[in-house]
Amino acid sequence: MNMRIRSLDEKLYRLLSAFVIAAASLSSLLPLLYVLSSSLVTDQEWTAKNGFILWPSRPTLLAYEKIVHGSIFVQAFGVSVLRTVLGTALTLAATVVTAYVLSRRELPGRKALLFAVLFTILVGSGMIPGYLVVRDTHLLNSVWALVVPMLVDSWSVLVVKQFFEHVPSELEQSARIDGAGEWTLMTKIMLPMAAPAIAAIGLFTAVSHWNAWFDALLYINNPHLMPLQLVMRNMFANVDLGFDMNAGITSGLSPADRVSEQSLKMAVAVVGILPILCIYPFIQKHFTKGMYLGAVKG
């Protein structure tokens, strides 16, 4: 009898868990489906359905064609790609080197350096001092203004440092016996051991750079250097982009053959989401492993 009760309780628990997971998944997918569907409809269908579209009746790619033909979107996409690639690569390089140096217990002044890293986590510089530093170093209106202030993340340095410190000392000693120097030890021994953590930090850094727009709002006045996320923010805030939304491939067409401004905004949103969605599956294994190991090592 007890076994039957436990079996019934277990079935109810699994059923409830499946329902909760399905509801959470559906609530996460519906906004994405709405954005994608809204980017594939004509002006006529958008008006007929009052802007609430979960499945387009006549899908069209006119909104994406307009993005391709709009130079401001192509330039912004290129700036975002350049910023993400350059910023992620430099951040990972700076993080690995800093973490390796701090993991050396024989380093003179190691405790003072660690305190400096921890202090930057607890106390931020603030927006105005940050702007003054960027201005006085002549980085305004350049891609470097979007990369250099985010070059080193103290939390990431501490995570990678923990990985380096948990590499077996026997492995390090045997490498030194074979004649390995500090550079070889870091690149050939330490770096592969910390690959999961570096992959996770790389993903966080890339997503942070790709989604960032507020720093560009502060440091960039040249419209040719604005990243895609800032252009998208300006579109949704109805800020003048210096670009006629209704000009180009959709002008002179009937409502059944052209796209609305809202569909164009949704298409830009899809373009802004797509790169990260394409990259994540390739590093998911390393990302999951890196987060798990980072949680259990102390």
**Domain locations along the chain:** 71-226
Residue 72 neighbours by CB under 8 Å, 6+ apart? 223, 231, 241, 242, 243
Residue 251 neighbours by CB under 8 Å, 6+ apart? 258
Residue 195 neighbours by CB under 8 Å, 6+ apart? 286
What's the CATH superfamily of 71-226? MetI-like (1.10.3720.10)
Distance, CA of 159 to CA of 95 (rounded, Å): 10
Instruction: Decide if pLDDT at 294 tops 60.
Output: no
Q: Which amino acid is at 171?
A: L
* pLDDT, mean of residues 110-119: 86
Of 100-109, 204-213, 247-256, the range with the highest mean pLDDT is: 204-213
pLDDT band of 150, cuts 50, 70, 90? confident
pLDDT band of 249, cuts 50, 70, 90? very low
Mean per-residue pLDDT over the chain, rounded = 80
Q: What's the whole-model pTM score?
A: 0.77
Distance, CA of 229 to CA of 271 (rounded, Å): 10
41 in Cβ contact with 259 (< 8 Å):
yes
